[in-house]
Amino acid sequence: MDISVKNDTAPPTPLPAPARRGSSARGATRPGDRIFLALSRGSGIFLLVLMAAIAVFLSLRAASAIGKDEANFFTTFEWNPTGDPPAFGIAVLAFGTVVSSVIALAIAVPVSVGIALFLTHYAPRRLRGPIAYVIDLLAAVPSIVYGLWGALVLVPHLGGLYAWLDDYLGWTGVFEWNGGAPRALFTVGILLAIMILPIITNVSREIFRQVPRTHEEAALALGATRWEVVRMAVLPYGRSGVISASMLGLGRALGETMAVAMVLSPTFDIEASLLDPGGGTFAQNIASKFNEATTDGRDALIASGLVLFVITLLVNGTARLIIERRKEFSGANA
């Protein structure tokens, strides 16, 4: 057991050692080698240039749009880039994006951790493979299909839940429902939760799998129940992994476009109630407003896209840095 565990955690095939001094120096003199190295290094550099270009060109258009904006870009509750004077701001979009993503995370993280634990510690051994496959399928369904399903199947089924929430929690103001079609931020949150479930599950599962067998066996030997093993050995080991998995999920939720655009009926104001239709998100606003936008309108949308880009960059970068500290696994394949 112990030996096989060691084999598993050993670094994957070490990089070719002979590429040191002699062979690589002599190899580099061969034209074929030089061309090949240049090509592959060029591709890598191209990738970096591409990332820089994305930032630069979005900033260029965004700067031109924000220069024309007569209102405060960050605090205005209005989207009228073609008006006279042009006035638009991202306050409503930022609010909607954050709120719907937070709802999605609040639903998806506990469920995903549950499924990941189910797959690694609870499910009957024969079921694990097929279930993991089903979760992968959930990840492969395109967002447009989630949107269609959300708009035509999920939305009509949420009335009952919203009426119930309104009855018992309506006094908070947050869960007040006026009986309109449930195309609200909360609905978006539920749909996003379903969509980010697979990635959080997959990354968490990878981490729970890497919990040293000896930790678990030590807990079991002390007479711990299965739940106590999970609580004392598995969860502490996997905590940072679960956090970064959640952040990867958050990154997905923040940038989701079509599903949100199809489910939400947007308005440009902030309402206290999450169950009443209204609000908007960055990505949804771009998709919905794009077909009626002129050049100025497009630039304004690009400006809001730049904000989204920066936010997702920060979220994903942080998640990757957390993962990076533990080299053994990477969530990129999830």
Query: Do the Cβ atoms of 78 and 71 come closer than 8 Å?
Result: yes
Per DSSP (E only), the strands in the chain are 79-80, 87-88
Rounded to the nearest whole angstrom, what is the least distance from the CB of residue 167 to other proteins in the complex?
14
Buried b (16+ CB within 10 A) or exposed e, 194-213: bbbbbbbbbbbbbbbebbee
User: Hey, what amino acid is at 26?
Assistant: R
Question: What are the tokens at 324?
Answer: 């990076």
Question: What are the tokens at 31?
Answer: 């034209």
Rounded to the nearest whole angstrom, what is the least distance from the CB of residue 196 to other proteins in the complex?
12
Rounded to the nearest whole angstrom, what is the least distance from the CB of residue 254 to other proteins in the complex?
7
SS3 of 276, please?
A: coil
How far apart are alpha carbons 185 and 207 in whole angstroms?
32
Q: Of the two residues 50 and 272, which places its CB atom closer to other proteins in the complex?
A: 50
Rounded to the nearest whole angstrom, what is the least distance from the CB of residue 287 to other proteins in the complex?
6
Rounded to the nearest whole angstrom, what is the least distance from the CB of residue 155 to other proteins in the complex?
12
Which residue, among 106, 122, 313, 331, has the nearest Cα to 240 in the 3D structure?
Answer: 331
Q: Of the two residues 243 and 313, which places its CB atom closer to other proteins in the complex?
A: 313
Task: DSSP letter for 184, please.
Answer: B
Q: Of the two residues 256 and 276, which places its CB atom closer to other proteins in the complex?
A: 256
Rounded to the nearest whole angstrom, what is the least distance from the CB of residue 286 to other proteins in the complex?
6
Cis amide bond preceding 11, omega within 30: no
How remote is the C-alpha of 37 from its chain's centroid?
A: 35
Q: Of the two residues 80 and 112, which places its CB atom closer to other proteins in the complex?
A: 112
